[in-house]
Amino acid sequence: MKYLIGAVLSVLLFSCQSNSNEYTLSGTAEGMPDGSPVIIYAIENNQPKVLDTLLINGGKFSGKYEKSNVPSLNYMMVNNSSIIYFPQSEDLSVTVYKDSIQSSFVTGNAQNEGYRSYVKNMLEFQARKTAKAAEFQKARSEQNNSLAATLQRENVMITQEEKNYKESFIKENTNSIFAVMLISEMLNNKQISAKQANEYVASFTPEIKETAMAKQISEAVANMKNSDVGGKAPSFTAKTPEGKDLSLKDAMGEYTIIDFWASWCRPCRVENPNVVKVYEKYHDKGLNIISVSLDKAGAAERWKKAIDDDNMNWYHVSNLKFWQDPIAQAYGVRSIPATFLLDKDGVIVAKNLRGPALGAKIAELLD
């Protein structure tokens, strides 16, 4: 008998050990038809990768996945809508609302709880701003300018309160991968400076600092410093539409605009006629332009067509690597259109001039 008990205990112990490296993701999806897919994605090298496809049965679904001590971001697609979650080593529970996938959520560890709290607060800010906007429109329609001005100030205050909340979230969640994502978003939207972003990343736990997302922000901040006004423009070489190598040095004029754009970027295409006008007026006086396209792999023909359609008769290069373009990364470009104006020595004298401001600056330098 003692040998039988020992054998059973050994089997149980082995079973526990064999499963100790897995966590369970289980969810409820009431009202969803049986057989509806829940596609699980991970983010690797800034690209989505399918991990698994679960099927809903009786309003439930479940899967097991390898535990990890490395903070990461996953998401699931249900009814063509995404639900973000942050896996590690704890079991996770998903609540899917059939008629409001955006309100669905995941619980099971501190990162998911923090993200859920953030989403709830942001929805409240959005509701307040929407209400103020409606009141503002009503005041304007009634020509109540005094009330409209008051509502406008109140809306600005809500926006500032929202920004303060985001920064507080970052400071209070130094072990959250979502806090890193939030820094990236605020940096892109110019809600925080490169210096602030760097300070926030420096305050994170060692595990978060080692994530690819945190390292990318640190690199972007360093590149932003390299490409500040007064700095020497980073050199680069890339392929022209004809497939030949062209360097920044080869494209330099008395003054040179480096123009980051893409054929898919609507604001870029809207700005292009203004750039064409400036180029045609000042090229003979020494203005050169080299445009760096952030078009995607396989979009070479679309890139070339956009150049022709927009009459961009200057230098063009692209690595066709979308946001992974090494030139854009070297210049800290996180949104387009983006421009850098260089003097003949390659020193950056102005950044992100558009519309009349671009023409005025070039006129100041070359007229």
> What value does the mean pLDDT of the chain take?
90
Positions of CATH 3.40.30.10 in the chain = 237-366
**Mean pLDDT, range 351-360, rounded to an integer:** 92
Write the CATH number of the domain with boundaries 21-107.
Answer: 2.60.40.1110
In terms of pLDDT, which residue wins out, 57 or 212? 57
Positions of CATH 2.60.40.1110 in the chain = 21-107
**Mean pLDDT, range 124-129, rounded to an integer:** 95
CA separation, residue 6 to residues 2, 20, 99, 227 (Å): 6, 21, 52, 69
- Distance, in Å, from the CA atom of 324 to the CA atom of 287, rounded to the nearest integer, reads 28
For 292-349, what is each residue's pLDDT tens digit?
A: 999 999 999 999 999 999 999 999 999 999 999 999 988 888 889 999 999 999 999 9
- Distance, in Å, from the CA atom of 326 to the CA atom of 234, rounded to the nearest integer, reads 11
- Distance, in Å, from the CA atom of 317 to the CA atom of 248, rounded to the nearest integer, reads 10
Specify the pLDDT at position 218: 86
Q: How confident is the model at residue 14 (pLDDT cuts 50, 70, 90)?
A: very low
Specify the pLDDT at position 120: 94
Q: How confident is the model at residue 113 (pLDDT cuts 50, 70, 90)?
A: very high
Q: How confident is the model at residue 4 (pLDDT cuts 50, 70, 90)?
A: very low
**CB-facing half-sphere around the CA of 320: CA atoms within 13 A:** 12
Is residue 94's pLDDT more than 50?
A: yes
- Distance, in Å, from the CA atom of 78 to the CA atom of 151, rounded to the nearest integer, reads 39
- Distance, in Å, from the CA atom of 351 to the CA atom of 257, rounded to the nearest integer, reads 9
Q: How confident is the model at residue 19 (pLDDT cuts 50, 70, 90)?
A: low
Strand stretches in 142-254, DSSP E: 237-239, 245-247
Residue closest to 25 by CA, chosen among 38, 16, 11: 38
- Entry field: residues in the chain: 367
Q: How confident is the model at residue 11 (pLDDT cuts 50, 70, 90)?
A: very low
**Mean pLDDT, range 259-270, rounded to an integer:** 96
Q: How confident is the model at residue 5 (pLDDT cuts 50, 70, 90)?
A: very low
Is residue 170's pLDDT more than 50?
A: yes
Contact 105, 83 (CB under 8 A): yes
Is residue 45's pLDDT more than 80?
A: no
**Global pTM?**
0.66
Specify the pLDDT at position 43: 86
Q: Which amino acid is at 80?
A: N
CATH class, 237-366 region: alpha beta
Specify the pLDDT at position 112: 94
In terms of pLDDT, which residue wins out, 80 or 18? 80
Beta bridge partners of 87: none
Count Cβ atoms below 10 Å from residue 252 Cβ, excluding itself. 18
H or E segment to which residue 169 belongs: helix 145-172
Is residue 216's pLDDT more than 90?
A: no
